[in-house]
A and B are shown apart, each in its own frame.
Chain A
Amino acid sequence: MDRLPRAPTAAYNPPTPPDALNRDLASSSSDPTSPPGTRVQEAAGGRSSSTFELAMEEGLENRGGACPQLLDLIPNESDWMMAPEASGGGRGVGGLDDSEDKKLELRLGLPGGGGGEEESAVLSLGFFSMASKTTTAAAAAIATCSGARRGLFESAEFTKSEGPQQEQQRQQGGFLQLQSRAESGDGWPHKAVLQQSHAAPGGAAAPNTSSQTRAAPAPVVGWPPIRSFRKNLSSSSVKPSVELENDNIEMKQKFDNNKKGLLVKINMDGIPIGRKVDLKAYDNYEKLSLAVKELFLGLLAAQKDTPQNENEEAKQAFVGLLDGSGEYTLVYEDNEGDKMLVGGVPWDVFVSTVKRLRVLKSSDLTALHLGAAVSRKRTATESLS
């Protein structure tokens, strides 16, 4: 992987996100901090806004510890050492030469100074002795240092998979821009911070005076010292200030129900491995029943000892799934935790309340304390079929 072109096209492969990142991405998907392009960009050369720059702006507007989470999210995150600055040179962000290091290092220092030379308060993001992983991850780190990180990852993914040249160019542009800004001689954080003060905050929060004097902190591993689960809180909760409370709940529900696909787990008695089924793919119980058969037929057949008749026997098992007449019965657990026979309610009601499915041995039905529900549902099913 070549390091020289600071353009992230080669370097900018978002690292495979571990679960934590997926969770964050998913959870923040319903709540982007601000739509891209709302910032006025006064980048050197006045280039058009890009999500990357947006990210930079937001990142710089950050107070405090920026985004340690970012580094946390990268695989082998424990490998992210903030090695002391002293050893200079080496591979910096985007694969910089030694001579550029000084200018392009992210530094923490007294506000107003271009980072200063104090040892004690200086961290360098540009300091990794790792190879390609570093450059991509570092590029990712710089690029996504903010609440818009998700937006950026998305556009990066988008870029990768669809490859619209423009998108790539802009990202490149953004990154290059970062370099050129710094090259103009000021310490990077400083200049960018000043820039922020010119930029109309748009969707951002009200600027506070201290943002101008604060030196933009580099993302640091394990800083601020809070547990990981606390870092995700904001992004995964519903923000009430903008919408009415009613809307919140409704939107949330709509979002939950209208997502592409409604995957629920389904387990079958006697088969240790469960499956998942997308209920959106079906529009009635018959189709669901068929799908269940398809899912488990192979597994069930594999478990039976008799090789000759296995398929026939196995297929037979799935007859009468819905009406309690077969060897197995399909039941589900609803959103109140109750176990119900499948088929008792209209299909869309079922879809909106089902949480899990289970293929039970019919002989076990009573053991489940389905109680009155059983007879009621049975009658309902009969009347429907």
Chain B
Amino acid sequence: MTYFPEEVVEHIFDFLSSHRDRNIVSTVCKAWYRVERLSRRSVFVGNCYAVRPGRVMARFPGTKCLSVKGKPHFADFNLVPHDWGGFALPWIEAAARGCPGLEELRLKRMVVSDESLELLARSFPNFKALVLVSCEGFSTDGLAAIATHCRGLRELDLQENEVEDHGRQWLSCFPDSCTSLESLNFACLKGEVNAGALERLVARCVNLRSLKLNRAISVESLARILVRTPHLVELGTGSFTVEHRAEAYQRLIHAFRKCKSLKSLSGFWDVAPRCLQSIYSICPNLTVLNLSYAPAIQGADLVKLIRHCFKLQKLWVLDCIGDKGLAVVASTCKELQELRVFPSDIYGTGTAAVTEEGLVAISSGCSKLNSLLYFCHQMTNAALITVAKNCPHFTRFRLCILDPGKPDPDTNQPLDEGFGAIVRSCNDLRRLSLSGLLTDTVFLYIGEYAARLEMLSIAFAGDSDKGMVYVLNGCKNLRKLEIRDSPFGDAALLENVGKYETMRSLWMSSCDVTLGGCKALAAKMPRLNVEVINDRVESDEMEENPSDMHKVEKMYVYRTLAGARNDAPEFVDIL
């Protein structure tokens, strides 16, 4: 293909949007490599330690959108020590030096300091979008810097971050000249925000389509905002605490009626069930509804609401919806593609919330369902088999039975057959999370049938090394494997070491892997970083040189071009 002028090749590459496709074409020949790298605008780095930031900027100088991910997934559940790593600063520094034309930055599970945000704010004149997901390390001071210096900012999306409230009126730092905002999400902020400044900001940003407020915003303020933003498509409400007879509530209903474009709703902290009536007028248009922050809404009220939502595609609820509520969802929401049911009362004494019945109901009513996250108290093989038959299109199937290692309550059997049915039936399955009582057999099934599986999460499962080996030898598209509290040891770890270079990462915690096994792995595979994350207290007490027989509490293995990282804290050993 060298007789095509480069411009033509580049133009053809424009049609390749997926990173993987572009990665593949860049390996065809040197000419294509060159064309591709100079024309790549969107770069995705799945593991921030797999490659040096400078290297990325050097290879892709035209980067406009950069996405970087940091900590392993289990960090979400406090399994990764706080200062393990995943710092954003080196990436922002490298981009500032190498790609000053950067327009969008997306970071997930990284430590972002105020200093990095300030650097970001000052380094990229065309900066348009900042998306931070599950990050930490910054405060409202950093946000103030972004608001102040990023002229032309279109998107500021803060999802589930830990943000320190330094009380700065960061929102007021958006200059009066800022009219470009299209998406603003500060729902995760705990502190107060100047409501007046917010109202003025949304009023002058006429292209604003997505607004997600935090809990500190009152209903009165929300009503005033909605009046100014009738074209809003996505809304995250604030606290929604209001007396239903109050004038503010009436104004709210009125404002909602004006918002004819609303398709997505979330927020609803502290909402009293009666106040849900205010959104009934919007429900028929809703495609996305997130009520997972509203434990005050019990099944019956949820049901009343959902009966209006027949266009719903994505629903996040708490398990207080109950099996009956899910049955209503099944009969109403025929377009449903994604369902997440979160546990509501983990420590309390609530009634059994959702069981396998709810899931079966959903599967029989919602044939388009392809993504599931389901926390329940019990599950049966029969139910899973039925679900597998009804919904063969699952791409993401995450089932969490709250009681670890719990078997099928009807038969007392492990859930191998149920999950086996899922992987056999759902050929497009890319992500799977297992729970309940499981033997090696389920892994045999997974290895054999889950050909497209990319991410597998295992907890309290399996009997022996064979289980893990089935997976490693079987799932050829596996990218991320995370295992906790399962009896897999060195033999499994070392059985197929080449596999890890085809994957992004492997996490094993509270398994039977020993220090010796980790060392052996590191020795055999120099292009893997084998991180042993020590229990901090233990490392004070343990002898200087723990024996190779010592079981490793947490191990994180990932392929890398960058060698051992130099920012690891002392409790992390990189072998």
**Which residues of A come within 8 Å of B, CB atoms?**
33-34, 58, 61-69, 72, 76-79, 81-84, 108-111, 119-121, 123, 129-131, 133, 145-147, 149, 201, 203-206, 208, 210, 213-215, 217, 220-231, 233-235, 237-241, 245-246, 248-249, 252, 265, 274, 333, 335-338, 355-356
Contact = CB atoms under 8 A, between A and B. Distances in A.
Query: Considering the complex of A and B, which 9 residue pairs feature the smallest CB-CB distances, nearest first?
Result: A64-B402, A121-B405, A337-B195, A222-B77, A147-B348, A78-B81, A337-B196, A204-B349, A205-B349
A33 B349 contact: yes
A249 to B, nearest CB: 5
B347 A149 contact: yes
A227 B75 CA distance: 9
A79 B485 contact: no
Contact of A245 (B243, B459, B553): B243
Given A224-B375, A226-B375, A234-B344, A84 B459 contact: no
Given A72-B78, A130-B538, A245 B460 contact: no
B351 A121 contact: no
A149 B439 CA distance: 35
Contact of A64 (B76, B270, B272, B346): B346
A15 to B, nearest CB: 13
Contacts of B350: 205
Given A147-B347, A223-B77, A63 B460 contact: no
B294 A64 contact: no
Interface in B178-211: 188, 192-198
18 contacts: A62-B347, A65-B343, A65-B403, A78-B80, A81-B553, A84-B510, A108-B405, A120-B437, A147-B347, A149-B347, A214-B403, A217-B404, A221-B77, A222-B79, A223-B404, A224-B343, A237-B294, A252-B241
B400 interface: yes
B349 to A, nearest CB: 4
A62 B349 CA distance: 6
B342 interface: yes
Contact of B77 (A34, A58, A61, A225): A225
Select the residue from A33, A63, A215, A252 with max chain B CB neighbours within 10 A: A63
Interface in B62-80: 74, 76-80
Contacts of B537: 76, 79, 130, 133
Contact of B409 (A213, A221, A234, A238): A213
Contact of A120 (B192, B378, B402, B460): B460
A225 B459 contact: yes
A68 B21 CA distance: 42
A252 B403 CA distance: 35
Contacts of A237: 269-270, 294-296
Given A147-B347, A224-B402, A241-B298, 17 more contacts: A63-B403, A64-B403, A72-B78, A84-B485, A108-B460, A129-B538, A147-B348, A149-B347, A226-B375, A227-B77, A238-B241, A238-B270, A240-B273, A245-B272, A245-B274, A265-B167, A274-B167
A59 to B, nearest CB: 8
Nearest to A249: B243
A120 B78 CA distance: 22
B463 interface: yes
B484 interface: yes
B74 A210 contact: no
Given A76-B537, A225-B76, A240-B273, A58 B349 contact: yes
B220 interface: yes
A224 B400 contact: yes
B82 A78 contact: yes
B533 to A, nearest CB: 9
Contact of B194 (A68, A220, A337): A337
B331 interface: no
Contacts of A147: 345, 347-349
A210 B375 contact: no
Contact of A78 (B78, B243, B292, B409): B78
Given A229-B160, A335-B218, A79 B538 contact: yes
B339 to A, nearest CB: 16
A355 B218 CA distance: 13
Contacts of B551: 83-84
Contact of B352 (A149, A210, A213, A229): A210
A338 B295 contact: no
A224 B346 contact: yes
Contact of B402 (A65, A81, A119): A65
B345 A234 contact: yes
Contacts of B342: 226, 230
Nearest to A64: B402
Interface in B321-378: 342-352, 375, 377-378
Select the residue from B349, B485, B551 with max chain A CB neighbours within 10 A: B349
A28 B371 CA distance: 33
B403 A108 contact: yes
A145 B269 CA distance: 26
Nearest to B438: A120
A60 to B, nearest CB: 11
Contacts of B517: none
A65 B404 contact: yes
A208 B351 CA distance: 7
A215 B536 CA distance: 32
A214 B535 CA distance: 32
B462 interface: yes
A63 B402 contact: yes
A69 B484 contact: no
Nearest to B318: A233
Given A83-B553, A133-B537, A230-B292, A108 B404 contact: yes
A84 B298 CA distance: 39
A189 to B, nearest CB: 11
Nearest to B484: A222
A233 B352 CA distance: 18
Nearest to A134: B537
A33 B348 contact: yes
Contacts of B538: 79, 81, 129-130
Contacts of A77: 78
B412 interface: yes
Nearest to A205: B349
B243 A146 contact: no
B499 to A, nearest CB: 23
A120 B435 CA distance: 12
Interface string B535-573: 111100100000000010100000000000000000000
Given A63-B377, A208-B351, A225-B400, A248 B272 contact: yes
Contacts of A62: 346-347, 349
Contacts of B378: 210
Contacts of B104: none
B188 to A, nearest CB: 8
Interface string B511-523: 0100000000000
A104 B84 CA distance: 34
